[in-house]
């Protein structure tokens, strides 16, 4: 009997440390499947962030570097510039990418660095214990916004995909989610597209994945999915924010 579903080679057998209802496991799998399908495991370097996915290298089986908080895009730049033949991706959360690492991601995107970023946005700091993130929703309670996010004091949540999409340099910028099976297939397609653009040396590619954090949100996994649909997705709309022009941009030639 033919196997129709199996563990990707790029996914290790190590059980993850993620909480019940967390979407990191699904996203890891999609990345691993993509690496398998594109047959690039032997020349792929992942960069793990600081945050819940700090141990991503225990689950995705390819060369990996572990970054300092927020610096993954600078490290990816370093690797990709000196070894353009390698396939490089960063895997970052919203505290890592949108707060301490905002400078690095904006400049890497603006230079059009040819690597891929998987941006997991769950509107909260996970690993450090549920603190407020730049993506935390207005009124959302966290351990550092116990009375709810006060936008008069800390501003509105940052829509990173749209912010990066405003840069003039060509790029592939998309926002997806994995909270229901119908979305997972689209996310998979987006991740594969992102890696493909990199392999074609086309542009910087960025996949934001709106995710859940039931533990730090104080919800059951089901409630977390519902809250994502009711609250997060209206503010963080799904779909491509920007795609590179059909033909190669002149400055890339």
Partner 1 sequence: MSKVLMKGNEAIAEAAIRAGCLNYFAYPITPQSEVAEYLAWRMQEVNGVFLQGESEVAVSYMIFGAAGAGVRVFTTSSSPGISLMSEAISYLCGAQLPAVFVNIMRGGPGLGGILPSQGDYLQATKGIGHGDCRLFVMAPEGVQEAAEMVMRAFPLAEKYRNPVMILGDGLIGQMMEPVEFPDHLKSVPSNKNTWATNGMDHRKSKTRNLVRSLFLDSQILNNNNLILRDKYERMKKEDVCFEAYNTEGDYRILIVAYGTMSRVCKTAIATLKEQGIDVGLIRPQTLFPYPEAAVREAARKESCRHVLCIEMSMGQMVEDVERSVLGARPVKWYGKCGGDVPTPEEIIELVKSTLALHKSY
Per-residue 3-state assignment (H helix, E strand, C coil) for 44-73? EEEEECCCHHHHHHHCECCEEEECCCCCHH
**Among candidates 78, 74, 94, which has minimal Cα distance to 86?**
78
Among 103, 237, 239, 245, binds partner 1 (CB under 8 A): 103
Q: Which residue, 21 or 126, is less far from partner 1 as judged by CB? A: 126
Q: Which residue, 104 or 177, is less far from partner 1 as judged by CB? A: 104
Other Cβ atoms less than 10 A from the Cβ of 247: the count is: 8
Please report whether residue 196 would count as binding partner 1 according to CB under 8 A. no
Please report whether residue 61 would count as binding partner 1 according to CB under 8 A. yes
- Length of the chain as a residue count: 253
Among 7, 81, 150, 180, binds partner 1 (CB under 8 A): 81
By the 8 A CB rule, do 236 and 244 touch?
Answer: no
Among 9, 107, 240, 243, binds partner 1 (CB under 8 A): 107
DSSP letter (8 states) at residue 145 = B
Q: Which residue, 71 or 159, is less far from partner 1 as judged by CB? A: 71
Least gap, CB of 79 to partner 1 (angstroms)? 4
Q: List the Cα angle 176/177/179 in 5-degree steps.
A: 165
User: How many residues bind to partner 1 according to rule CB under 8 A?
Assistant: 33
Among 31, 35, 54, 209, binds partner 1 (CB under 8 A): 54
- Residue partners of 34: CB distance under 8 A and separation at least 6: 188, 191, 192, 195
Rounded CA-CA distance 249/237 in Å is: 27
Q: Which residue, 1 or 82, is less far from partner 1 as judged by CB? A: 82
Rounded CA-CA distance 220/156 in Å is: 26
**Which residues 9-48 are close enough to bind partner 1 by CB under 8 A?**
41-45, 47-48
Please report whether residue 71 would count as binding partner 1 according to CB under 8 A. yes
Q: Which residue, 104 or 208, is less far from partner 1 as judged by CB? A: 104
In the complex, which residues of this chain contact partner 1 (CB under 8 A)? Answer: 41-45, 47-48, 54, 57, 61-68, 71, 74-83, 85-86, 103-104, 107
């Amino acid at each position: 009997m033919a196997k129709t579903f199996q563990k990707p080679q790029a996914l290790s057998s190590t059980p993850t440390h993620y909480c019940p209802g967390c979407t990191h496991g699904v996203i890891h799998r999609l990345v691993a499947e993509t690496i398998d399908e594109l047959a690039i495991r032997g020349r792929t370097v992942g960069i793990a962030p600081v945050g819940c996915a700090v141990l991503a290298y225990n689950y995705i089986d390819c060369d990996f570097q572990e970054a300092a908080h927020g610096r993954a895009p600078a490290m990816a730049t370093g690797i990709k510039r000196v070894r353009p033949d390698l396939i490089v991706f960063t895997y970052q959360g919203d505290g890592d990418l949108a707060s301490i690492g905002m400078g690095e991601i904006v400049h890497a995107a603006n230079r059009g660095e040819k690597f891929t970023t998987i941006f997991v946005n769950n509107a909260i700091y996970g690993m450090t214990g549920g603190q407020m993130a730049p993506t935390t929703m207005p009124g959302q309670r966290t351990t550092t916004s116990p009375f709810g996010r006060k936008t008069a004091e800390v501003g509105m949540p940052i829509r990173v995909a749209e912010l990066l999409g405003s840069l003039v340099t060509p790029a592939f910028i998309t926002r997806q989610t994995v909270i229901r099976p119908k979305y997972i297939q689209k996310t998979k397609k987006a991740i594969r597209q992102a890696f493909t653009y990199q392999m074609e040396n086309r542009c910087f590619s960025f996949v934001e994945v709106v995710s859940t954090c039931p533990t730090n949100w104080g919800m059951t996994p089901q409630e977390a999915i519902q809250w994502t649909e009711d609250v997060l997705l209206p503010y963080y709309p799904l779909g491509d924010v920007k795609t590179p022009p059909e033909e190669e941009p002149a400055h890339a030639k």
